[in-house]
Amino acid sequence: MNPLLVETPFGFSLDLSFWADIFSRPADEAVSAIFAIVGWAIVVAILFSMGATFWAMYRGNKYASNWKWVLLAVDIPPLFIQTPKAVEQIFAHLTGAAITPNIGQKYWMGKRRKFFSFEIISIEGYIQFLIRTEIEFRDLVEASVYAQYPEAEITEVEDYVVNIPTAYPNKEYDMFGVEFKLEQQEAYPIRTYPSFEYSLSKDVVFSDPMAAILENFSRIGHGENFWFQIIVEPIGSSWKKSGIDLVKKIIANKPENKNASIIQFLGGIPDWLWKELLSAWHGSWETVEKKAEAPPGKMVDLSPGMKSTVEAIEDKISKVGYRTKIRALYSAKKEVYNPARCMDGVVGSMSQFHILSRNSIVPHKVTLAHYAFKTMLQNWKKTTFTSVFKKRKIKPGATPYVLNIEELATIWHFPLPFVKTPLVQKAAVKRAEPPMGLPVETTESPLKKVGVTVVEEKAEEPPPPEEILYG
């Protein structure tokens, strides 16, 4: 009896001698033969996938072209004390915008998730906290802010990005941009605001990380602009699986095999399939070598540092996450252009969120070039970066990563009263009329309010000489 002739319960037999002959060849010949037989299916699948991707992009861009954006300036009373926990609740509140389109909505209607941009800007030293949202979720944003800061003032303003050119080189302006990414896998958390609390005597003191960030914005002078944006897109819970897998890998103490190549992996497929077929046909054809399995890892076997890391990963995936992108842009007139005045400080301030055994925020893309066609490439990078920054696009550049609401609130939150940034716009503590004759010193905002027309008062002309002489 031919062992390669398999009887089926449907009344016919399968002759597997053809496949046995292919799998008996060397690995490279077997892979080539299999690709020749089923390669067309792979090519069709790749082309179909590419076509579906481009179609979804086309429909999605057409859908997004009808979005209407609003930019909201948020001013908080100077004596209103709230920890970053309040901003964490704001981010949690905004998950109401997390609407996942189905297949029909995605590929036919082009429906996409709408995103938010949380920004800090300094225009010639005037610092303002901003939130950009699609008009559909304006009420959601305002409700989430007022729920945590009842005395806040939210004003719609015109978009400030029109104040600088997009294309470079430019005769009047120059710019420098930096994009940030996570150094490790997104499942590893960064240092968050609870870690900035320390005990001094009997009191618990909070060292606000926003102080180090805002210090760089206060150094901006006349003719300079320094802008910082965090783009967040609500997502589901699928990202948490990578965190669960990472925890299992750490506990099992399974190191990654980084030396294994794709060729080695593909070359081993025919041998593996052949052994699986022989094992399934008859017990006597069992040729698969059973390796001694290592006992499963245990939490008690980990070092204290690894235990803490596992707990931190589990804590991160226990909270809501957002797909995130962080950028910083400096633009100034050429006579005062000096990006090192603020950009180096911001890159350094991101280091305060670093934990050696977990994660950190590091610069990834910068508008510099150090090779052939340096000037041309720098101008191309500057133009691309400025365009992406102005449109608040999340995908160009490094792959977006996931930060949970606690991590986002650590990086972007309203400063506590003891953070000395005199030019940060703040709301009045109470909305009431001031006493008569009280001297008031104000800082005029360079941002224009939407729907407000400024009317210049004309100076009263002096009466003609005839009226002065004759009354």
* 85's tokens: 């926990």
Q: Is residue 419 part of a domain?
A: no
pLDDT at 346: 93
**Banded model confidence at residue 238, pLDDT cuts 50, 70, 90:** confident
**Banded model confidence at residue 457, pLDDT cuts 50, 70, 90:** low
Q: What distance in Å separates the CA atoms of residue 145 and residue 310, rounded to the nearest whole number?
A: 33
Q: Is residue 11 part of a domain?
A: no
Sequence-distant (≥ 6) Cβ neighbours of residue 109 within 8 angstroms:
59, 63, 101
pLDDT at 286: 43
pLDDT at 258: 47
Residue 435 CA neighbour count, 13 Å, CB half? 3
pLDDT at 357: 85
**Banded model confidence at residue 171, pLDDT cuts 50, 70, 90:** very high
pLDDT at 400: 92
The boundaries of the domain holding residue 396 are 70-242+303-411
Q: Which of 90, 80, 87 is nearest to 144 (CA)?
A: 90
Q: Is residue 438 part of a domain?
A: no
pTM of the model: 0.74
Q: Is residue 445 part of a domain?
A: no
Q: Is residue 46 part of a domain?
A: no
Q: Is residue 107 part of a domain?
A: yes
pLDDT at 24: 73
Helices 304-317 and 240-252 cross at an angle (nearest 10°) of: 160
User: Is 11 or 430 the better-scoring residue by pLDDT?
Assistant: 11
pLDDT at 289: 47
Which residue has tokens 């006579």?
335
Q: Which amino acid is at 240?
A: K
* 115's tokens: 């995103």
pLDDT at 445: 73
Q: Is residue 248 part of a domain?
A: no
pLDDT at 433: 43
pLDDT at 291: 46
User: Is 55 or 368 the better-scoring residue by pLDDT?
Assistant: 368
Q: Is residue 20 part of a domain?
A: no
**Mean per-residue pLDDT for 285-297?**
49
Which of 10-24, 151-165, 229-243, 452-466 has the weakest average pLDDT?
Answer: 452-466
**Mean per-residue pLDDT for 338-350?**
92
Please give the tally of structural domains in the chain: 1
Q: What distance in Å separates the CA atoms of residue 324 and residue 184, rounded to the nearest whole number?
A: 15
